[in-house]
Each structure stands twice: as C-alpha cells, then as structure tokens.
C-alpha cells in the first residue's frame, strides 16, 4: 500500500503533536529542576544545581524516598511469589473455576485506584490492622501481582509443558523441575514483571493515600509539598527522581520483553 506525501506529512504532524501533548509537561518538570528561579516561569531564569543540594538535605524528602523504595521492593517481592504461583497453577493445571481465578487475579488492575483504596482502607479498619507501612505494601501488592502474573503466564503459554513432563519422567521432583526447567524459561519474564511492578508501586499515590495513615511516601510528599510555594523547586527535583525511577525500570522491562510481547501495564 502506497501512502501519499500529504498523508505522510499529516501523520508526522499528528504524531509530533501527540508526543508534545504527552511529554512536554514532563520535560518542563526536568527543566524547572535546574531553574535558578524560585517559581516555575518560562523562560527559566538560569541554570543551577542548588535545588539538588536542598533536596539531599531535606530530611522529610529523604525519609519519603526511602519509604517508597522499601514499600516498592516489598510489594514487588510479594508480587513475584504470588504472581508466579498463580500463573503456574492456571497454566499447568486444569481445575474447576480456573478461568474465573485468572479473571479475579487480573481484575484489581482494572479497578479505579480510588475504589481499591477505599475497599482496602475499610477492610483494614474492620479487621483492626492500623494503617501504615504494612498496609501500603499490602495495597501495592494487590495490583503488582497482576504485572508478574501476566508476564509469567504469557511465557508459560509459549513454553511447552512436555519439558516439565520429561523431567518428571526422569525422576525429578517438582522443586527440581522448577529450578532447572521452569524457572530458566520464566526468568526474563519474571524480571520484566518485577521491574514493572516496582515502577508502578514506587509512584502510586491514590491507593497509598487511603492506606498510608501517617506514613509519607515520595508521591505523597510531592503532593503535599507542591502546595507550598517555598518547596516547589525542591518538589521539581523530587519529581525528576520519581520520573527516572519510573521510566528506567519500564524501559528495561520493555527491552527484555521486546521479542516476547509479555510486558503489561496498568489500565
């Protein structure tokens, strides 16, 4: 099919407009992080690294950053374990309600974050679990599991079960078969799922607001500090780090899964 010159030009302009619409606000955050002015203004007043020094010295920002890192790592570990087990059960065994279980596992990522947050907060209140760091991890794990599950089950469906059956026929137990046959085939898919889960957990704010109690993660710190005029330059620096710690894992996960098409994203 031959595309005319006018059509190509129109598509190019449309693509450029879409990219500008999506990424220009993000680019402004990056520029303002190096702006020597105290207020976001265009054009920038000048170039400085002063706000990075201020961000490093800000104890509240440091604590929020470490909390987000710890919560994201813990939620990712839980998601790896539970998502892998669920994918193995659904893909390798036949039982009543298997399709329903697959839908139930995937469903949390399709729910609006505010609904998930409300449901979790109400549940924690009813069972007597105080809101804090633990509830943040549990809340994040509910949707991080989906990313690991989607990547793992897609890879398992591409891998024949005959290898595992042959291993069992040769006398290997379930753990040995998983260690030497299943896990090597799943390794890159699990890594991609873990990276995506970490990125999603690190910058999640809606569910976190409902489950954090008095604990501040980096997104919550940014949300609260952005309303303070004297904190805006430091918030821009924090936003830059949040962008990097979200974009880099997603980029690596995309590279890992580029040939398999098993990476997932939140709806």
Question: What is d(CA 176, CA 128) in angstroms, rounded to the nearest whole number?
Answer: 41
The Cβ of residue 138 has, within 10 Å, a number of other Cβ atoms equal to: 19
Sign of the torsion angle spanned by Cα atoms 168, 80, 184, 267: positive
pLDDT number for residue 53:
86
Per-residue tokens: 49 = 């690294």
Question: What is d(CA 232, CA 226) in angstroms, rounded to the nearest whole number?
Answer: 6
Question: What is d(CA 244, CA 174) in angstroms, rounded to the nearest whole number?
Answer: 40
pLDDT number for residue 263:
46
Q: Where are the alpha helices (DSSP H) in the chain?
A: 5-33, 50-57, 59-92, 98-110, 113-127, 133-158, 162-169, 174-177, 183-202, 206-211, 218-225, 232-256
pLDDT tens digits in sequence order for the chain, 267 residues long: 566 677 788 888 898 899 888 888 888 888 888 887 777 777 777 788 888 888 888 888 899 999 999 999 999 999 999 999 888 888 877 777 777 777 788 877 777 888 888 999 999 988 989 999 999 999 999 989 998 998 888 888 877 777 777 877 777 777 887 887 788 888 888 888 899 899 899 888 899 999 988 889 999 988 888 777 677 888 888 888 888 888 888 888 888 776 554 444 443
């Amino acid at each position: 099919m031959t595309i005319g010159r006018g059509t190509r030009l129109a598509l190019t302009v449309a693509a450029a407009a879409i990219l500008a619409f999506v990424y220009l606000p993000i680019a402004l955050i990056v520029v303002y992080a190096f702006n020597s002015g105290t207020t976001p203004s265009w054009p920038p007043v000048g170039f400085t690294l002063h706000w990075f020094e201020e961000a490093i010295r800000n104890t509240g920002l440091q604590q929020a950053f470490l909390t987000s890192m710890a919560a994201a790592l813990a939620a990712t570990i839980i998601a790896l374990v539970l998502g892998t087990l669920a994918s193995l059960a659904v893909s390798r065994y036949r039982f009543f309600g298997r399709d329903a279980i697959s839908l139930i596992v995937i469903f949390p990522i399709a729910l609006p974050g505010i609904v998930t947050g409300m449901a979790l907060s109400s549940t924690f209140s009813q069972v007597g679990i105080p809101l804090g760091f633990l509830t943040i991890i549990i809340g994040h794990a509910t949707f991080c599991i989906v990313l690991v599950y989607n990547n793992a089950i897609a890879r398992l469906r591409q891998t024949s079960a005959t290898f595992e059956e042959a291993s069992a026929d040769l006398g290997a137990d379930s753990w040995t078969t998983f260690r030497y046959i299943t896990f090597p085939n799943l390794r890159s898919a699990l890594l991609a799922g873990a990276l995506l889960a970490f990125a999603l957990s690190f910058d999640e704010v809606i569910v976190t607001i409902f489950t954090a109690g008095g604990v501040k993660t980096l997104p919550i710190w940014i949300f609260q500090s952005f309303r303070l005029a004297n904190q805006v330059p430091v918030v821009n620096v924090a936003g830059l780090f949040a962008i990097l710690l979200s974009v880099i894992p997603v980029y690596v996960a995309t590279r890992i899964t580029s040939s398999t098409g098993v990476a997932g994203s939140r709806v």
